[in-house]
Amino acid sequence: MSHILEVTDLRKTYADGFEAVKGISFGVKKGEVFGILGPNGAGKTTTLEMIEGLRPITAGKATIDGLDVAKNPYAVKERVGIQLQSSAFFPNLKLVELLQLFNDLYAETSDPMELLREVELEEKANAQAKELSGGQRQRFSIATTLVNKPICIFLDEPTTGLDPQARRNLWDLIAAIKQRGTTVILTTHYMEEAQVLCDRIAIMDEGKIIALDTPDNLIQQLLGRGFKPHTKVQAATLEDVFIDLTGKELRD
């Protein structure tokens, strides 16, 4: 499989001298779900924003579909879909109108209703973004990234702050997007999420990638180093209990 995203020795140093990203390299294969994990302040969002062309690159290089991001930011943005960490939408516009606006921004002609159907928000077509619940907002936000039929979408902490039902619902949506052959690059704090969704993950800390592999391989490597879990591993988690008791249907 060829790499759709290639990052080489990427660095970010802010004006105050702070090194947010200290020379990282990785590649993302076409069609995979790639996760960037790490504690707060590890440099995940800065990395994404440099790759997306939203933040100037201090040194190094990022190419998407063979295009140098720094040299062709507009051409790159035509090909990708970007969901930002905080999703704000213009006030006083209905969801269909917002999607039509995004259509215009990409000079595209996607059907807004079709996009809403994909993210299960058809019945909210005439609602405004502020009337949506957290999970609905995130789903709508993902719909706006699909307007231009991107080859690759970036999701920055898409499930942060959602309840378990909404989170699992979003996992289904991300899996469906992957099914269509769209590459997904996401950041997350949730290890279970990374394990379920991601084909490969990069773990970042203090501006560096400290591990990069499939979730299974990373776990095997850890066990190979003689790791013993603190608690006895159970066949189910507390979240499984919660979902089993409260049901899988969305509450928003």
Partner 1 sequence: MAKASSRRSIVALRGLTIASLKMYFRNRTALFFSLFFPVMFIVVFGFIFKNSNATFKVDVTNQAQSALATQFTEALGKIDVLKVKTVATDQASTDLNKGDTDLTLTIPAGFGTSGPQGVAAAPIIAHYNAARPGNGQAAAQIVSQLANNLNNAITKAPQIVTVAATGVKTKNLSYIDFLLPGMVGLSIMQLGIFSVAFGFISYKTTGMLRRLQATPVHPGNFLAAQGSTRLIMTVVQTIILVAIGMLMFNFHLSPVSWPAFLVLALLGSVVFMAFGFAIAGWAKDENQAAPVAQVIQFPMMFLSGTFFPRDSFPPLLERLTGFLPLTYLADGLRHVANDGASLWAVRGDVLGLVVWGIVSAVIAVRLFRWE
* Residues near partner 1, by CB under 8 A: 52, 54, 74-75, 77-78, 82, 84, 86-93, 97, 100-107, 144
**91 vs 247, which CB is nearer to partner 1?**
91
Least distance to partner 1, CB of residue 77, Å: 4
Least distance to partner 1, CB of residue 28, Å: 18
**67 vs 243, which CB is nearer to partner 1?**
67
Residues 240, 247: Cα–Cα separation, whole Å: 10
**105 vs 210, which CB is nearer to partner 1?**
105
Least distance to partner 1, CB of residue 248, Å: 31
DSSP readout, the chain?
--EEEEEEEEEEE-TTS-EEEEEEEEEEETT-EEEEE--TTSSHHHHHHHHTTSS--SEEEEEETTEETTT-HHHHHHHEEEE-SS----TT-BHHHHHHHHHHHTT----HHHHHHHTT-GGGTTSBGGGS-HHHHHHHHHHHHSTT--SEEEEESTTTT--HHHHHHHHHHHHHHHHTT-EEEEEES-HHHHHHH-SEEEEEETTEEEEEE-HHHHHHHHHHTT---SSPPPSS-HHHHHHHHH-SS---
Least distance to partner 1, CB of residue 175, Å: 23
**105 vs 219, which CB is nearer to partner 1?**
105
**87 vs 217, which CB is nearer to partner 1?**
87
Least distance to partner 1, CB of residue 238, Å: 34
Paired tokens of 186: 């996401």
Residues 150, 131: Cα–Cα separation, whole Å: 27
Residue 177 burial (CB count, 10 A): 22
**46 vs 165, which CB is nearer to partner 1?**
46
**61 vs 79, which CB is nearer to partner 1?**
79
Least distance to partner 1, CB of residue 96, Å: 12
Least distance to partner 1, CB of residue 107, Å: 5
